[in-house]
Structure 1
């Protein structure tokens, strides 16, 4: 393919599938964003999680029954090989294809690909308990004996255990269901995954290796083991008492991150292909950027990483900072990372514009689902901009002088500029960003 023909291609969003703590599907999701309805509450499905007061952003509408009878009805025989994270991701992909009105009987399956992100998936303690007990002697009379795992422990594991927790399995199930035979990849980049899979899918489409890419992420930090890890990090919010007020990005009184779960898939498509099949186009992907920055001791440098990722995305999009309508922030709600993100926005946009450009932080509704966050948060902006609105940030009551940003709060903010820069960063200092123009 020639450089000129590659540059003539455009990558558009022709479908969105949302599975979130504030609603499943576009309309419930947007209604919650527009009305300021939080999805953070006390967990009903995971009563043993280690988050303070068992609080998190839980997809309460995604029950086992709903998965079997509604969202994964056609895949119900495969549910036994899917942990909850996988189910959320596959359900979001099916919703995206339905939203895109894609007839799988008419597509060229050799040119349908998948880019999907996920967290590393962990078994719940009860899954491992019986096998672990078998290696500890009768009545736990001895320490865990590794040499007993093969002959005594492993036979007690469920036969499909490994398949239920592999992070490449969302892409696997989606590819089998859709008969996607094009480029397929799985990424595990934690919070940075969403923008990175979009970038990978975009480049596949631009070089003409596919016509459509099912592009999404699933993730959870609302998990018995993962919340324990988060608790050991020491930055889980325990105040205020009301769960829905726990996640407070950029607020002076923010107390830490809030765990969550969720998934979102975008159907990315070559524009000419989308137009030929009469698809509605929701947005155009203009550019992405990613970087990882740490010092010589391995300490993450969040400010530099975030600034570099945003600058790279702008450069790839061929845009100046003053052409961006708003920033969809990582907005984790921790002291250090919120300050670093604020500083990075000023580094990229300058002191004056850095104070003026609208900023929204969807984690205030959703909590942090790790890999699931990036695509969900971008979807909040893309959907909002269809209404000419930027979603507000919840719980931003007292501005922090250390984070001098124009955080949208209260009501959605009307805007005529439909270009959004969305950014995320991991606790290891890997940052990613995407620029999208809503249509």
Structure 2
């Protein structure tokens, strides 16, 4: 469907991040250059040698963290918290906060006309879930006997433990407690999830299958098992440097990725509906796309994936590279990924052809959650007509031919592209513009 027939706008933002739990808080943090990175408190330091992490320390999982809700919905949600892992709780909370920000309550829309598309990382059970069952299968010498597991171990597990770690549960909980009966989807594409979920929501509205979509993501690299996987498999900053300077996207001496946790959600809405409701419009989503590239031996080609997705999203929006005002980059802070991303951006936009912001310098890699926090910051930059500075890029790497925003600037053109990529070569991108009736 032609974009002019059904325009899709953002009418709500919900965010849980290491630099704040509201649009106002995260914007104030980046304007003040206030990092959310610190020494991790959620992991055993004698087991996992992380010295910097982006934790959402103010999120406790208390029902108050979910914002204002209908009393009946709040009562039911409070009961359900025991079947949500922290990752899931943050996702549901971000979705609720976005709904509140958009002024959406049960009855605002016909239930069949509002849906959700929610993304996440893979979710991993915590070892504690199995602890009592394992103890029941130990003999006097502490030896585990597997043959006793079915009869003596499994009965000790929390009966609904699996529901806590299913990646479709954030969408399910949001739909149940807010009576969202429209299109519903759950996607697990790691850091590429945000752009894919945005495309899903955008297409649902443009195709006339919905008038409003709750689009969100939640992620973590800080649960115990995820942190172990991250340290073993990825380029991670493990030095003893000051945590606030550990994430150094596009800097010559960048030490690696800084793990974090977080969630975000936006409300996508048909512009006619939003104007009719008289609500604040943050911006207009023009396009969203995804791509994946890997070689014959399944080795990811992130540069090729990024080039493909950037060209695809520009074509979908009917734009030229020169129409883009700035890029909200993936900016992971690793030697390899930053170089490949910078080369891809230079290929599409020309060497230093567009201002680039790397927001992970403030909060690290929140897994699937990072990209939508970055998109929210890009939208806020449009609203404030100001680009905020990337932290810690003190000595830009000549091998990364991009124009990193190191000091605040005015927004030259009110449209930006947000891009993310996974280690497996999956990339996604979205283009958002300032709202103009």
- Judge same fold: TM > 0.5, yes or no: yes
Question: In the alignment, does 2:21 pair up with 1:14?
Answer: no
SS of equivalent residue, structure 2 residue 352 = helix
| Secondary structure class of the residue paired with 2:13 | strand
Match of 2:416 in 1: 420
Aligned counterpart for 2:55 among listed residues 58, 73, 84 = 58
Assess if the C-alpha contact under 8 Å between 1:51 and 1:236 holds in 2.
no
Task: Give the 3 Å change call, closer, same or farther, for CA 57–422 of structure 1 in structure 2.
Answer: same
Q: Which residue of 2 aligns with 1:120?
A: 122
Structure 2 match to 1:429: 425
Alignment of 1:5-404 (within 5 A): 8-47=5-44, 51-64=48-61, 67-71=62-66, 74=74, 75-142=77-144, 145=146, 147-239=147-239, 241-350=241-350, 354-404=351-401
CA shift for structure 1 position 405: 1.1
Alignment RMSD: 1.7
Per the TM alignment, residue 126 of structure 1 is displaced from its structure 2 partner at its CA by 1.9
Cα shift readout 1:245-272 (whole Å, capped 9, x = no counterpart): 1111110000110100000000000111
Change (3 A) 1:156 1:42: same
Change (3 A) 1:50 1:380: farther
> What is residue 71 of structure 2 aligned with on the other side?
none
The DSSP-based 3-state class of the residue aligned with 2:53 is strand
What is the DSSP-based 3-state SS (H/G/I as helix, E as strand, rest coil) of the residue aligned with 1:435? strand
Give a deviation string over 1:233-256, Cα, whole Å, max 9, x none: 251102352011111111000011
Q: Give, in angstroms, the shift of residue 72 of structure 1.
A: 5.8
2: distance between equivalents of 1:275 and 1:264? Answer: 24
Do the aligned partners of 2:329 and 2:420 also contact (CA within 8 Å) in 1?
yes
Is the CA contact (8 Å cut-off) linking 1:49 and 1:228 kept in structure 2?
Answer: no
Q: Which runs of 5+ in 1 are unaligned?
A: none
Conserved 8 A contact 1:289-1:311: no
Q: Could you tell me how far apart the structure 1 residues matched to 2:226 and 2:423 are?
A: 14
Q: Report deviation, 1:163.
A: 1.1
The answer to whether the 8 A contact 1:100-1:280 is kept is yes
Offset of 1:346 from its aligned partner? 1.2
The answer on whether the counterparts of 2:330 and 2:358 sit within 8 Å (CA) in structure 1 is yes
Matched position secondary structure for 1:295:
coil
CA contact (8 A) 2:67 2:97 kept: no
Q: How many residues align?
A: 428
The answer to which of 303-312 and 271-280 deviates more is 271-280
